[in-house]
């Protein structure tokens, strides 16, 4: 239809820790990350789907865009900038619509669910994580 309306799907698979990442909860004084051993022999998949809808493609005389995405990472998935030891589901979207030449209200939302009790990918006994 136009450059504002499109659909994209991606899938990936990882084996073991591809790259480690660190985070800071205290403004950069201390850093922590996942235990590298949690990813030993881990084989996990992931997928992401993105949808963009240009309002002008469906409603004459309307500018603006809606976007939505969903992403699922299996426990043990690892990629640059993404590593998780729990099954993780993320989704969100944005909205933008110009009202005048100087006013363009919009919004965005995001949610993440890390499922409790997910299997530790490095544990071959099938035990569940307790955190």
Q: Does a structural domain hold residue 81?
A: yes
Domain membership of residue 61 (yes or no) is yes
Residue 108 lies inside a defined structural domain of this protein: yes
Alpha-carbon distances, residue 80 vs 14, 17, 99, 103, 108 (angstroms): 11, 10, 39, 37, 25
pLDDT tens digits for range 93-129? 999 888 777 777 778 787 777 765 544 444 444 444 4
Q: For the chain, give the mean pLDDT.
A: 77
What is the number of domains present in the chain?
1
Establish if 45 belongs to a structural domain.
yes
Which pTM was predicted? 0.64
In a domain, 11, yes or no: yes
Tell me which residue of 55, 69, 62 sits closest to 2, measured CA to CA. Answer: 55
| Rounded mean pLDDT, 12-26 | 73
Count Cβ atoms below 10 Å from residue 20 Cβ, excluding itself. 12
Residues 107/95, Cβ–Cβ less than 8 Å: yes
What residue numbers bound the domain in which 75 lies?
A: 6-114
């Amino acid at each position: 239809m136009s450059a504002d309306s499109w659909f994209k799907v991606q899938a990936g698979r990882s084996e073991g820790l591809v790259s480690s990442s660190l985070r800071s909860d205290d403004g950069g004084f201390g850093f922590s990350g996942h235990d590298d051993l949690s990813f030993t022999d881990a084989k996990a998949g992931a997928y992401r789907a993105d949808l963009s809808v240009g309002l002008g493609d469906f409603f004459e005389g309307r500018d603006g865009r809606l976007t939505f995405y969903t992403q699922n990472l299996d426990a043990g998935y690892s990629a640059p900038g993404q590593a998780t030891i729990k099954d993780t589901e993320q989704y969100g979207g944005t909205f933008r619509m110009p009202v005048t030449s100087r006013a363009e209200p919009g919004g965005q939302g995001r949610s993440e669910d890390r499922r409790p009790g997910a299997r530790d990918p490095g544990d071959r006994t099938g035990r569940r994580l307790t955190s």
